[in-house]
Amino acid sequence: MIKVGDRIPDVKLTLATADGPQPTTSGDYFAGKKVALFAVPGAFTPTCSARHLPSFVEKADEMKAKGVDEIACTSVNDAFVMGAWNQAQGSGDITMLADGNGEFAQALGLTMDGSGFGMGTRSQRYSMLVNDGMVEQLNVEKPGEYSASSGETLLGQL
């Protein structure tokens, strides 16, 4: 599993933009900026929609005031789903990084087995602060919990 001080692995991701899916790599996306990243098991799922995404939307201005350049959310969903979720519940302050094949979650060592819920392999719930591709903070949730990876927690670490 990735840890504080490690460099983010370079894998393919897709940005969900107003102009449609835009391919990128994690190496390119995280280069030269400070990013508050959070990961959810699935867009439109209950805790992710009711608590996790809203916590980062609500704290976006405060995070940016403390030096965060971008706030990004990743999930093992396609860019169309991630874009629709952000449009339905997010804000322009959140960049959606689709990890459609789960390659990013796997490269980080942060996958979970959601097959009991019909979801297959997904990302664990976490948040991290990434500065120019290096992990400065990492908050991985215990299974079934939500608090360590919240926007409030990450804001307190800035």
Which H or E run contains 122? strand 121-123
Active site positions, annotated: 48
Average pLDDT over residues 82-94: 91
For 40-87, write each residue's pLDDT tens digit: 988 887 777 777 999 999 999 999 999 999 999 999 999 999 999 999
- Give pTM, 2 decimals: 0.94
Question: How many other CB atoms are there within 10 angstroms of residue 92's CB atom?
Answer: 10
Q: What strand order describes the sheet that includes 94-98?
A: 20-25, 12-17, 94-98, 70-75, 34-39, 126-131, 134-140
Q: What is residue 109's predicted lDDT score, i.e. its pLDDT?
A: 97
Asked if 125 contacts 111 with a C-beta cutoff of 8 angstroms, the reply is no
pLDDT exceeds cutoff 90 at 27: yes
Domains and CATH numbers, the chain: 12-144 (3.40.30.10)
What would the pLDDT profile of 100-149 be if each residue is shown by its tens digit? 999 999 999 999 777 777 776 778 999 999 999 999 999 999 988 888 99
Nearest-angstrom CA–CA distance, 153 and 158: 9
Listed range (6-10, 74-78, 113-117, 150-154) with the worst mean pLDDT:
113-117
